[in-house]
Amino acid sequence: MQVFCILGDERIMRSKSPAIFSAMLKRIGLKAAYVPFKVDPGQIGQALQSIKVLNIAGANITIPFKEKVIPHLDVLSEGANIIGAINTIVCNGGILKGYNTNAIGFMDAIGDAGFDVEGKSALIFGTGGAAKAIAFVLNWLRTTSIFVAGRDIEKTRQIVERFGGEAISLYDLPHRTLDVNIVVNATSVSSPDESPEMAALLEKIKIKDCEMVVDLNYERSENFWQDMALRNGARFMDGLPALAYQSRRTLALWTGIQVPPEEFLKVLDEIL
> Catalytic residues, which ones?
66
On the CB side of 224, how many CA atoms lie within 13 Å of its CA? 21
Contacts for 243 with CB less than 8 Å, ≥ 6 apart: 16, 17, 20, 105, 218, 268
Please provide residue 73's backbone torsions phi and psi, each rounded to the nearest 5 degrees.
Answer: -95, 155
Identify whether the C-beta of residue 25 lies closer than 8 Å to the C-beta of residue 34. Answer: yes
Report which secondary-structure segment, H or E, holds 111: helix 102-112
Q: How many angstroms separate the CA atoms of 66 and 84, rounded?
A: 9
Q: How many angstroms separate the CA atoms of 150 and 123, rounded?
A: 11
Beta-strand runs (E) in the chain: 2-8, 32-38, 58-61, 75-76, 88-92, 95-99, 121-125, 145-150, 166-169, 177-179, 182-185, 206-208, 212-215, 235-237
Buried b / exposed e across 51-63, counting CB within 10 Å, b at 16+? beeeebbbbbbbb
Q: What DSSP letter does each residue of 72-100 carry, written as one string?
A: G-SEE-HHHHHHT--SEEEEETTEEEEE-
